Copies of this chain bind each other. A is one copy, B any other.
Amino acid sequence: MSADREVTIYDIAKYLNVSAATVSRGLKNNPMISKSTRRKIEDTAQLLGYQSNTFASSLRSRQTNTLGVLVPRLNSHFMSSAIAGMEDAANRHGYNLIIAQSLEDVEKEKRNAATMFNKRVDGLLISLSSNTQTIRHLEPFFKKKIPVVFFDRIHQHDESTAVGINNYEAAYNITKHLISQGCTKIMHLGGNVLRNVYQERLNGYQQALRDHHLPVKEKWHLTSHLSEQAGTDAARYILDLPVNKRPDAVFSANDTAAVYCMLALKDAGLRIPEDIAFAGFNNDPISRVIAPNLTTVEYPGESLGHTAATHLINHLKGISNLYNTNAITLRADLVIRDSSLKNKLQE
């Protein structure tokens, strides 16, 4: 009854006059142990209130059933959905998640990676911070053959899988859509091109312009953190242009910037989509609240997280081999809404 002393397999062993080895095996349903003693062990464990000690187990067996998750920020709709998906997949297979955020700071990312390594996570799920240049800080993982899966913000690497969408294609298609609506002066609000997602969205946007013989102007490409403020600033930028030089459409690399740009332009009296059409990216909840509803790209956070985690776990369980899979690309459909439908009346 003493509160501090832990109940161990030795207590169960003593109680049943068997060895700790037998108890250990019995608890793990090892077929080596007879059905009857296995039952007795389980019953006694229940009776004594035994709780397995994960450390002791991890120390010896060299596996933790824990996955590390390293993200730039936790509090965005996309990211929290992705993590929800991961948690669901992990939980389903008996894994736990250790989560840390880099807050877009490489140094913190490095420290967090080191911590995860020290905690001996069985695998790592990572989305890079905006200013990460190399992934040398992940070397310890590669060296020790700890599987790494990149998601969303990817880095090409031979020994890991990248889970995401075809950003190029999505951006290309949404730009094409704007062009099909009669827009010819399309501006792009982009993120740091150090990150593949923003680089690819920029590329898709530019290629669509070129393919439709529209000019690619540097003035129409604004780079920012895609924050609310960035959206508002972009609106200011547009309003400061001479009226005849203003874009007739904006494609933003996320919904937040798009929405706050729209809000400011609406305040200034511009009509959407008549004066200026809008398209975003992510299908964030705010895109369905803004008036008019924002055309965007469905970025399936939850299933992306679920897929990434499941892929990692399958590798750990030996069901599949991660090293053979270079990339997993999820479907990311266009969600056409009123913010870009200039031809609505005609149709």
Contacts and interface: CB of A to CB of B under 8 A. Distances in A.
A51 B97 contact: no
Interface string A68-101: 0000011111011101100110010000111111
A182 interface: no
A53 B120 contact: yes
Contacts of A87: 74, 99-101
A55 interface: yes
Interface residues of A, number: 52
A58 interface: yes
B74 A84 contact: yes
Given A115-B96, A289-B286, A145 B84 contact: no
A129 to B, nearest CB: 14
Q: Determine which residue in A55, A58, A144 has the highest number of CB atoms from chain B within 10 A of its CB, and name it.
A: A55
A84 B112 CA distance: 14
A136 interface: no
Interface string A14-56: 0000000000000000000000000000000000000111111
Nearest to A112: B91
Interface string A259-296: 10001000000000000000000000110011100000
A69 to B, nearest CB: 8
Given A74-B83, A84-B75, A119 B100 contact: no
B83 A119 contact: no
Contacts of A54: 118-120
Contacts of A114: 51
Nearest to A256: B285
A302 interface: yes
Contacts of A55: 55-56, 58-59, 64, 120
B80 A96 contact: no
A143 interface: yes
Contact of A84 (B77, B101, B263): B101
B99 A97 contact: yes
A230 to B, nearest CB: 15
A139 B211 CA distance: 65
A220 interface: no
Contacts of A96: 98, 100, 115, 119
A51 B259 contact: no
A284 to B, nearest CB: 8
B144 A3 contact: yes
Nearest to A74: B84
25 contacts: A3-B144, A3-B145, A51-B114, A51-B117, A51-B118, A51-B140, A53-B59, A53-B118, A55-B56, A55-B64, A59-B59, A74-B84, A75-B77, A75-B301, A75-B302, A77-B77, A77-B80, A79-B80, A80-B80, A87-B100, A96-B100, A97-B98, A97-B99, A263-B289, A291-B291
Given A87-B101, A289-B290, 17 more contacts: A53-B120, A54-B118, A73-B84, A74-B84, A75-B302, A77-B80, A79-B80, A80-B80, A87-B100, A91-B108, A91-B112, A96-B100, A97-B99, A97-B100, A98-B98, A99-B99, A285-B286
